[in-house]
Amino acid sequence: MKLPLDGIRVVELAGLAPAPFASLLLADYGASILRIDRLQPHAPGSISPPPTLDLLVRHKSSIAVDLKSRGGIALLRSILCRVDILIDPFRPGVLESLSLAPEDLLERNPRLIIARLTGFRRDGPYANMAGHDINYLAVSGILSQLGRSEEPPYAPANILADFAAGGLMCAFGILLAVVERTKSGKGQVVENSMADGASYLGSMMRYARKTPLWDQPRGENYLDGGCPWYDVYECKDGRYMAVGALEPQFFRGLVKALGLDGENLSAAREDRARWPIMRDLFQRRFREKPRREWEDVFAGSDACCTPVFDQQELEEADYEQRPPIHLRRSTGLPVESKEAWASSGLSPGAGGVQKLHEWFGWNIGRDFKGVEGGGLIKVDAAKI
């Protein structure tokens, strides 16, 4: 079966989190990925350096290139003349400092799509500042809405800005540019700010501030932990059940399954003054049974109550990890069991020489060569 992105060649400049995730999404649906790594020192006598910290390496290959050398830049520029997509994870100005300005690259390869991932906006007050996921959430306004009442805002690891607002949005932008290229025949620069991506993800949260859904302080609303029927509860064994019984019919199912029919909770569920009492009832009731028993109670029901599984449990149960989108006619690559729960990483240089031959018919010694430290350079840089 032909994969939807078969034939698409992607160069990923090595980074962490958002850029590797964007290319992983493309790779899982058939794109061919070559990661460009920096030169990595390795132990004397070893064949190759150890894997980098990047864990999102499924279906990828790598070459190491000295981006400070003329021959290294010449090799990379020659590659970029022949591929479809470049993913740039660097801060503003880095590509230009390497003599790889997007304008020059597009002049050499008008079909090239250059995806540029930044944390902050390129034109804002934070443009030249370093940052991480929590900072991009902070300036987008989203972080201020996350967390419990009367506690500091809480960042949910780095999944929102790095992966949802960064990598996922970047892959979406790339695909938009690929679709547009089928009409114009031309590539373009795709700008992806994680701060803007986070703000966009939070559109509903932002609008809801002007409605009863989210018009209270942080942690006192329906979906942010303020509402007792949209929260997580501890069971007798220290494990947890997640409750999301927002609609009245689901709430009635929850109350019935908990054996609280006689408490007249449905009539008072919109009375915020009663929420603390209701939460206390739920807490005490969930603590009466271990999670396994509550799973049986709610199995097959419409009470919107499910167990909170940890990753170890799922791994031990051989839970099947699947690609996020299934296309019936041209699906993605399956997530093999050996890749579902651990990553073996990718060493700089792993599979890259073979990839260059597969893509362009290039051979080591004739078109490029290795240098001390494990990097590759163009054989005749003067022609580039």
Q: Which residues are catalytic?
A: 162
Q: What does the DSSP 8-state code read for residue 197?
A: H
Q: Which helix (H) or strand (E) holds 116?
A: strand 113-118
Cβ neighbours of residue 310 closer than 8 Å, sequence gap 6 or more: none
Q: What is the CB-side half-sphere exposure of residue 32 using CA atoms within 13 A?
A: 16
Rounded Cα distance, 97 and 270, in Å: 59
* Radius of gyration, alpha carbons of the chain: 25
Cα–Cα distance, 4 to 332 (Å, whole number): 7
Give the C-alpha separation, 200 to 147, whole Å: 19
**What is the C-alpha to C-alpha distance for residues 85 and 112, in angstroms, rounded to an integer?**
6
Token digits of residue 191: 């700008």
Q: What is the crossing angle of helices 194-201 and 133-140, to 10°? A: 60
* Residue 195 to residue 375: CA distance in whole angstroms: 35
Residue 282: which residues within 8 A CB-CB, separation 6 or more?
228, 229, 231, 233, 243, 258
Please name every residue paired with 11 in a beta bridge, in sequence order, or none if there are none.
34, 86
Bridge-based pairing of strands 230-234 and 85-88 is unpaired
| 148 contacts 219 by C-beta, under 8 angstroms | yes
The DSSP code for 91 is: P
